[in-house]
Structure 1
Amino acid sequence: MNARNWWLMVSVGLGILLNPLNSSMISIAIPRLQNVFQLDITVVFWIIFCFYIASAISSPVMGKASDLFGRRKIFLTGLVVAFVASAIAPLSPNFGWLILFRIVQSVGTSMIISAGMAIIRMNITEKQATAVSVLTIFQSGAAAIGPFVGGVLIHLWDWPAIFFVNIPFAVASFLFSWLTIPKDEKPASATHSMSFRAWLDLIDASGTLLFTVGLVLLLVGLLSVKSSGHVSIIQVIVGLISFVALGAFVRHELKTVSPFIPLRTLAEYPEITWVNVQSIIVNLILFTLFYGVPSYLQMVRHVSEFHTGILMLSLGLCSFVASPLAGRWIDKSGPRPALNVAAVLMTLGSVWIVTLNQTSPVISVCLSLAAFGISNGLNSVGLQAALFKSSPKEIIGVASGLFTTSRILGAILSLLLIGVIVGAKFSFGGFRVLGIILTVISLSLVFMSRRRRELRAIRRE
């Protein structure tokens, strides 16, 4: 791989890390924000929900936009949006404004990821697994060390620092990318003469609205039931509306010419479907750990933000070491062996959580975090390599955006799982139940992978 490609990967990587860094740093800030704004933990969770919902909505749209209007243009614009949101968010007068700026930040970082992955796919054609492993050092490494970085920043300068820290990364990525990313090909002239109605159809505004309404109402209904402890008529109505909206969304996506989430493409390319399903499950497990362990350490074991960040660093270091090794392994053997080993490690880490008791040293949590860290490095490289392998070049932007959405849906499900199991306040019993659930999910992933290998063997025969 030549020097130009290495600089291209660094330029894109510095921007791509902003999304996972911001999605994981906030995990350490939850108890602090709860105290500052005097809110229930299920309400504070909305600062995470809004980030992921905005990413889930904007990632496919921006992936499509990068295919049509230029990946370099979308990437650089995303950096500017993320810079502005990160600079203004700490000045928020209340929690509502903070959520608004988190949404803007999420849209900007989603533009960066959707366009950035497509830029690498189109410009680096040899040793793509190695290229993916380098990006994973930025992406999954940033997600893994985010709790440590957040803990240190909050300890030294309080919660606004987790927004200001984005600024140097955004500036560096913009400057390097301006010099290294090749200029976009001229877009089709038809895109310049579109009417406003045609633009809405192109980004599937109707499907986006149905997806947003259905997902938000579903989260509101489930979390309000857990918070109040009983089911009211209003909550039932909210739940029914959410299911109707999501059902209408699926029907609309199957019929529309330019879908928000291309369900027909998923049916046409089953390998892409499998990669995204596995990504949802993997991220459900990983983010339950991301948000569950810091809250458990701070609220149940009364560990400080600083020391919680240090304990969480074991996950980040293991992920950081595993990613480049995974890249070389996958270049030789393909993604499947690495993904199988990752599933086993997640199972072992989940079982270890279940074995903990109220007198276990907090340092023992690091053994579970180490297992998840290694699996995170293997999964991040393996799943993206599998995505590149199964995606035709002409839809790589859409596929990258869809892959980001699957990761986000896994994270949203993890927060929903924590909210439903734990409720308003973390407890040791709730943490153990989470461990049991993660063990069951991890085991199901192992069996699913085994069954899939058997089916492929049968088809070859």
Structure 2
Amino acid sequence: MHARSRWLMVSIGLGIMLNPLNSSMVAVAIPDIQNAFGLDYTTVSWIVFSFYVSSAVAQPVMGKASDLFGRKRIFLAGLVVAFAASLLAPLCSSFGWLIVLRIIQSVGTSMMVAVGMAIVRIHITEKRSAALATLSVFLSGAAAIGPFFGGLLTSNWGWEAIFFVNVPFALLGFFLSWKNIPEERSTDSTSSLREWLRRIDVPGIVLFTAGLVMLFIGLLSIEHGGQINVTGIVLAGIGLLLLVVCAAYELRVGTPFIPLRLFVRYPAITRVNMEFMLANLLFYAVFFGLPSYLQQVRGIDEFHAGMLMLSLGVCSLAISPAAGIWVGRQGAAPALRASAILMVFGAAGLAILQPDSGLFILFLILAAFGIGNGLNGVAMQAALFAAAPKEVIGVASGLFNTFRYLGTVLSSLLTGIVMSGSFNNAGFRTLGICLFSIALLLTILSLQKRGPVEHS
């Protein structure tokens, strides 16, 4: 690979890693943020909700924007947005403003993820597969080290450090990207803006986002002080209604934000997405829930909680190459079954966890989920390619990532509801029982025979 190509890889890698890094660093910082603003766990979990809901919406939207405004422009703009949000977020005096800046940070980092892979595909012609694999290492590696990095920063400099640390990365990334990403043909910004607004399905985005947020607000507030909150029921009902209206609208519109017709036409794709959503729900419930349990229930400090959580990402990364070989030889089904069974054992471990359970038991639980996630990440991609005909693989891949984010958001929703505002050992064991039930459902789905691709 030529020197210019290597510098381009470094430039793109520094940008795209900010999204998984910032989504994962916060896992260990949640208790510190909770204490700083005097919040219960249910409220502070919006620091997770807001980031993933924003990413789920921003990435496909910004991918379309890059086709019209230019990929380099979108990538550089993303770095500027991420820089500004990361610089201002630690200065917030209220949790509400922190959430606003967290959303802006998510949009900025999503702009880079949405176009980074495309830039590499277009401008690197030699050893392209190795280049794309390298970008995947940036993404998965940043997610893996995020909890450890977050624990290290938070234990020494407080929760604010997980935002400030982005500033030098964004500055360096902007300089390298401005210098190394090739210029593209300029376009008419006015006509491009009109075309972009026509193509992105604004009503569908608004209905989907508003419905999801209202549903989550309602579900999280249904139970308050041991009593049923009527307002929560009403809000959840409104959110559900908005999602139904969104579904009806998306089935009629020509260029939908969520291509629901694909589900009807290709049931195999529907199944893969549902399995992927459940697997991410399981993994991220542990990813975000266990650090709070370790700190608030077990009294482990941020640094050592981050060290323990590092095993989750390391196990996931370590198994991925072997998973690729296994899936290449025997197909996706065996790896998906093994992944589901490992998560059953991991969830069972959470369900029987005791306050005096040793760290080795926690490591085994994390290893089960980490290895399961590594197998799942490779096998689910293969299952998607097997289920989706070539003419819809682009749309199917985008939808696949949307379900990844939905699983992540649902994991935080489930944790927030089960914990009812504060972490304790009994609540965490209840969460383990819920995850055990979901893992069993995922196992049942994985054991069913996979049908052939359905062509029109």
**Structure 1 length-normalised TM:** 0.87
Structure 1 residue 145 and structure 2 residue 118: aligned?
no
- Say whether the 8 Å CA contact 2:16–2:138 is kept in structure 1: yes
Kindly provide the CA deviation profile for residues 278-311 of structure 1, in whole angstroms up to 9, marking residues without a partner as x.
3211210111001111111111111111111111
Give the structure 2 partner of residue 110 of structure 1: 110
**TM-aligned CA distance change 1:417 to 1:195, over 3 Å:** closer
Give the structure 2 partner of residue 32 of structure 1: 32
Aligned residues: 455
Give the structure 2 partner of residue 360 of structure 1: 357
Structure 1 residue 313 and structure 2 residue 303: aligned?
no
**TM-aligned CA distance change 1:115 to 1:403, over 3 Å:** farther
Match of 2:432 among 429, 432, 435: 435
- Say whether the 8 Å CA contact 2:9–2:120 is kept in structure 1: yes
Structure 1 residue 424 and structure 2 residue 421: aligned?
yes
Worse-matched range after superposition: 357-366 or 158-167: 357-366
Q: CA deviation at 1:168?
A: 3.2
Alignment of 1:104-253 (within 5 A): 104-120=104-120, 133-178=133-178, 181=181, 183-184=183-184, 193=191, 196=194, 199-253=196-250
- Say whether the 8 Å CA contact 2:348–2:433 is kept in structure 1: yes
Aligned-partner Cα distance in 2 for 1:23–1:72: 24
Give the structure 1 partner of residue 274 of structure 2: 277
Give the structure 1 partner of residue 338 of structure 2: 341
Q: CA deviation at 1:387?
A: 5.0
Worse-matched range after superposition: 156-165 or 74-83: 74-83
Gaps of 5+ in 1: none
Q: Counterpart of 2:443 in structure 1: which amino acid? A: V
Kindly provide the CA deviation profile for residues 353-396 of structure 1, in whole angstroms up to 9, marking residues without a partner as x.
23322221134201111122222233334434555676788877
Worse-matched range after superposition: 164-173 or 408-417: 164-173
- Say whether the 8 Å CA contact 2:296–2:423 is kept in structure 1: yes
- Say whether the 8 Å CA contact 1:53–1:408 is kept in structure 2: yes
Identity %: 53
Worse-matched range after superposition: 88-97 or 224-233: 224-233
- Say whether the 8 Å CA contact 1:214–1:241 is kept in structure 2: yes
Q: CA deviation at 1:122?
A: 5.6
Gaps of 5+ in 2: none
Worse-matched range after superposition: 73-82 or 83-92: 73-82
Kindly provide the CA deviation profile for residues 231-274 of structure 1, in whole angstroms up to 9, marking residues without a partner as x.
23323322221111110000011111221112224444555444
Q: CA deviation at 1:180?
A: 5.2
- Say whether the 8 Å CA contact 1:153–1:159 is kept in structure 2: yes
- Say whether the 8 Å CA contact 2:222–2:233 is kept in structure 1: no
Q: Counterpart of 1:370 in structure 2: which amino acid? A: A
Report the 3-state secondary structure (helix = DSSP H, G, I; strand = E; otherwise coil) of the residue aligned with 2:223: helix
Give the structure 2 partner of residue 80 of structure 1: 80
Q: Counterpart of 1:20 in structure 2: which amino acid? A: P
Worse-matched range after superposition: 296-305 or 175-184: 175-184
Aligned-partner Cα distance in 2 for 1:390–1:128: 25
Q: CA RMSD in A?
A: 3.2
Aligned-partner Cα distance in 1 for 2:166–2:104: 14
Q: Counterpart of 1:25 in structure 2: which amino acid? A: M
Kindly provide the CA deviation profile for residues 406-458 of structure 1, in whole angstroms up to 9, marking residues without a partner as x.
221111100111111111111112211222222222232232123143x349x
- Say whether the 8 Å CA contact 2:65–2:196 is kept in structure 1: no
Q: Counterpart of 1:89 in structure 2: which amino acid? A: A
Match of 1:258 among 250, 255, 260: 255
Worse-matched range after superposition: 107-116 or 152-161: 107-116
Q: CA deviation at 1:116?
A: 2.3
Q: Which has the bigger relative contact order, CA under 8 A and spacing at least 6?
A: 1
- Say whether the 8 Å CA contact 1:144–1:373 is kept in structure 2: no
Q: Counterpart of 1:318 in structure 2: which amino acid? A: C
Worse-matched range after superposition: 363-372 or 316-325: 316-325
Aligned-partner Cα distance in 1 for 2:124–2:446: 29
Report the 3-state secondary structure (helix = DSSP H, G, I; strand = E; otherwise coil) of the residue aligned with 1:262: coil
**TM-aligned CA distance change 1:337 to 1:164, over 3 Å:** farther
Q: CA deviation at 1:8?
A: 5.0
**TM-aligned CA distance change 1:33 to 1:224, over 3 Å:** same
- Say whether the 8 Å CA contact 2:275–2:445 is kept in structure 1: no
Report the 3-state secondary structure (helix = DSSP H, G, I; strand = E; otherwise coil) of the residue aligned with 1:303: coil
Worse-matched range after superposition: 215-224 or 393-402: 393-402
Q: CA deviation at 1:105?
A: 0.3
Q: CA deviation at 1:133?
A: 4.8
Aligned-partner Cα distance in 2 for 1:330–1:299: 40
**TM-aligned CA distance change 1:375 to 1:343, over 3 Å:** same
Q: Counterpart of 1:63 in structure 2: which amino acid? A: G
